[in-house]
Structure 1
Amino acid sequence: MTTNSTDPMIGRLVDGRYQVRSRIARGGMATVYLATDLRLERRVAIKVMHGHLADDSQYRARFIQEARSAARLAHPNVVNVYDQGQDADTAYLVMEYLPGITLRDLLEEHHVLTTMQAFDIMEAVLSGLAAAHKNGIVHRDLKPENVLLADDGRIKIGDFGLARAATANTATGNALLGTIAYLSPELVTRGIADTRSDIYAVGIMLYEMLAGEQPFKGEQPFQIAHQHANDTVGTPSSKNPAVPTELDELVLWATARDPDQRPRDAKTMLDQLLDTGAQLATAAPATAAHRTMVMPTAAPSSSGSDDVTQIIRPQRRERTGPVVADSASALQKTASRRKRKGFVLFALVILLAGLAAGTGWYFNAGPGALVSVPDVSGSDVATATATLEELELVVAAETRGITDPDTSIPVGSVVGTDPDAGAQLARQTTVTLLTNLGPEQLPVPELVGLTEAEAREAIESAGFTAQDSATQFSSDVPADTVIAATGAEGVDLTTVDEYGEDQPVTLLVSLGAVPDVRGQGFAQALETLEGVGLSGVEGERAFDDAIPEGSVLSAAAPGDGPVTPGDTLTLAVSDGPAPVTVPEVNDLPRDEAIAALEGLGLDVSYNPLFAPFSGARATGTDPEAGTVLPRGSSVTLFLQLIG
């Protein structure tokens, strides 16, 4: 369980009833929280739709559909839905709280499950899914993340967010829904889902539990989708030899590319799973652990005796699934019949051999041979064209551009072909190259001047991805206001009208003006700067008549750029008023001498007997002329009456 003390939902009372305690998980559509139902005094899980999706009618309808779909299912293997509603701008769904882990957590820890573990999980999943199918509901997003393993041993299916009524052809719309690793071929190629599409996903999960990995892998989602549409799922025993043949057959049946070759619904596959489990238990050694099962009463012998040793076999259901190996006696009879027919067929084989050889050459090496379209993804157009032409395929004169938000694929490079890679084509068939047009271009909203929170919401709503913001001090822009916005490779988004979907946007946010530390003591100024993430060093000292000694005269930023958190400012410090030199005032009239000394900031005194005689002349000073004194120092003026 994850928590986030900064999450505004933590501690919130939803609809006056549900007290949110902590965050459990976050997905692409909603966040799930642990909450307390104050009315019934029980713990519940409350699923809250992301705020930026709440105004989207499509997402809101899908959210409500999940509540309706799950609420129709009262089954011990389906997560119960208690309530659904809207509190102000918050759409929520209240569900049963199951403390524990998901099947994905279990697979990440153990990778490969035992046959018994896989049986138990599959039985629970298929039981819950059978109830959904019986009620006309297709889940459409089955995956290990949606299989919950409670601490008390219960196993339940959750997240019916993509569920719809099960018709013969339930369309998904233009976009593929569900997780790509578990999508059925018909969903990939035609966007059509029914109960058999759920069965395909179950088969992929069974393969993953037994083999320890998914059957199809790829660096890009379209590569995995291509494999689902064109390749056959292998047997889990090829990765894990301990897997019984019967389970291999069950996986192959569930993951057949043709939906008509799969179980028609979860009930059909559940019956086969239980039948297969009974067969494996019957075939296991007497000392092996067996699943609990009901055995039928032995049939009486033809002789009427009731003491004849008989083999008790588990009851079998009528099924259309995989057929297990015949008994030894049946195989021996079949071999005898084949031996008798062998002589008859030998001549026919010789006769047909020549024809087969010629036909094989024509279709395998001759003019009629098919070629497999190679995977040219990631190549430039010229290289891809040359590769296809070497196989005698014709490359269409015009490429077809497709949008792709993945910036790791260079614009203009090949991202696929039509037909897809792996398709078997006759020579001289035309193949169209699919080239990357880059992300879809979307309008850029006005971001400068908004608060950071407003700008981030505007970015997500517009279809872009908000990155961590950068900050700087500004005397012109208020704090918490966006100064600028940049995209990938530093593009200035204030100069463009459109930008690529899902591409990163970085905001530059103002921290307000740098604090004014002029007149503060040096230590106090350092403390003030540290409070906003800056530091300071002492710079030049200078005399200043207005700033006391030891106080800051000014703060200078490094270089000519803006000040950002972590910068070090240079602080000029005052040495107080500048000193003065006692001037030469000999022979000056008294008043002129006094004015000269006081003009330098000195305190002048003289013999008061000369007070009436303004015409007296200066004969010297104490200290004498040329002496350097601090401003405000006292100087004695010596006077003499002349004539």
Structure 2
Amino acid sequence: MIKIGMMLGERYEMLEKIGTGGMSDVYKAKCHKLNRYVAVKVLKQEFSENSNFVSKFRVEAQAAASLMHPNIVNVYDVGEDNGIHYIVMELVEGITLKKYIEKKARLSVKEAVSIAIQACMGIEAAHNNHIIHRDIKPQNIIISKEGKVKVTDFGIAKAATSNTITSNVMGSVHYTSPEQARGGYSDEKSDIYSMGITLFEMLTGRVPFNGDTTVAIAIKHIQEPMPSPRDYVPEIPVSVEQIVLKCTQKSPDRRYQSMNSLIEDLKKSLISPDEDFVRTVDPEATAATRTISRDDMEQIKKQSKKPSHTEEIRLKKNTAKPSAPPSRSGKKRTQAVYQPEPEDDEEEEEYESRMEKVTTVLAVIGAIIIGCVVIFLVGRAIGIFDFSSSTEDGTVKMIEVAGMTEDEAKQKLTKMGLEPSVEYVESDSVEEGLVIDSDVKKGTQLKPGSKVVLRVSGEDAGITVPDTYNKPLAEAVAALEGEGFLTEKKEGYSDTVPKGNVMTQKPEGGTNAERGSTVTITISQGPQESKVQVPDVMGLLPDEGKSMIESAGLTVRNISEVYNEDESLLGKICGLSYSVGTEVDPGTSIDVYVSKGPEATYTYAENIASPALEDPQYVEGTPCVLVVTTASGTEIARTVATSFPWPLNLSQIKEPTGTLTLIYNVATESVTTTDPVTGEAMVEPGGVQEKTVTRPLQFMKKE
């Protein structure tokens, strides 16, 4: 019994339950040894008590732990603690493909194919390590928040095959192959069938076969013809329809023979969706050839007389009728019962007669073929026949492209049915525009539609970056990683690009970049609702900051230069008209301030002389207020001098000139005057008068 907070293996702390399935529960846990979060899948008690199941489970899970691939949920550890059997896996933050389909009803063709390509790449890696999944379904495919598709549950599936079809959960039987439903041998092509059913569901939003019980659904997988996805969604391209139908053939020999072949067709369907290029597989061509002995022939003849299981059912129904209905020729149908032994000789004679005729015909045909081959070889040797590089098995032989111009090489490869792409490489020895070599050697046999990378001499090194504008995230990631680029995801708001699609990318599509470099894609979050936050663009170049502000749904009104004391911000954004993080309405105009470096400063250091130089009435010792202002009128200093000369030291002055104002008081004497009318003497008493003296100043520039 798992309890939140308990430790498994003295290492994994169970934090919360994040999922449950038919055979296990999944918990988010913390690995205290490596200090990371993981997913721990714990087998349910009824399976943990089955020793045979546990044995198979451990062996297969340990094999799965050896798989490391970006499209597989990696298995880190397998263990047991007090009867609790568990698998420790990579923790992927995201959504299962099943829930994603339910959320969107059905996916677009491009998105479905892109997801299928990534899932197939993970399954292919497992197949290359001789590991079969056996339970491919949307519930076991996860789409991470970054758009990466990952396949999970490798290991638990093989152990589960010890159970019967009736004990399987309802979800798995919808995707099981006919051979699995029969309880027969399953291999890589069983996973291909299940992948085809999964692709069908992505395209249509439904599974092809449904029923009230698991057994009823399993029988439909075995007996009923596979419906076309175009029956439900007519706009599905013919190539994608044919891919689904080829994946879901009843006979494994008629399906794709490998995940690689399926991936090639899926990629081609993105380029040529309406082209009917999917080739059906002839089961006779893939079957082993052996000589039939006489004993084998006798056995085949006996088996041909034995009614099949379905024929027995039909015969039992017929025995209830008094007689068979007449045929169109008027004769009664032959009863499907065993014929007596004496007729065996007649059949043998008839068989041998037929074989003699067949042998004669084959001999004639063989002679004609041999003659044609001889004529062909002789004619080709003397130059009569001049065929292209195509071979009898439908493949083409790679030609020498070194020294050709880029256009010439592209045209020739395209005519051969190949898909050329270009990677530009700097070269001192090969003239610009000429092909240096390719990633496929001359003489290599290639299937039509195979990709060939031409390495062309050029100054602008790299390969063409796919244009992912307005494409769904999963499709964009598949396109970029398919060309060898890494991806970095950002988010932004857009009124024109639907939510979940790429709104911008850097470098832009159509430009060249080195293989393995990172392409940053910004995913639209749809139209911005209510308020938006002013982004942090401090320290960015003006163009970068402007782009980031506009991506946030705001506009840039003015970009102006200002002084800033931080010398490292020279030429970069040092301020905005709104504080970073402020919530504003979408479309708000923002003023951007770019630093033009620290402002020039000036100093002033002088001994101020007494105002008596200008005003003889000033009495030494009288307090005097000294005020310094710049030419623009900004007061930068004020002090009181009690004696002269008075030292004055100023710094960080922003202007080169200014004014010194000296303010002081002087005493006035009494004045006696005579009244002209009365002749009386009048005395005006003395007092205090405020006076000022101004002096221009020239400040010294600081170096």
TM-score by length of 1: 0.43
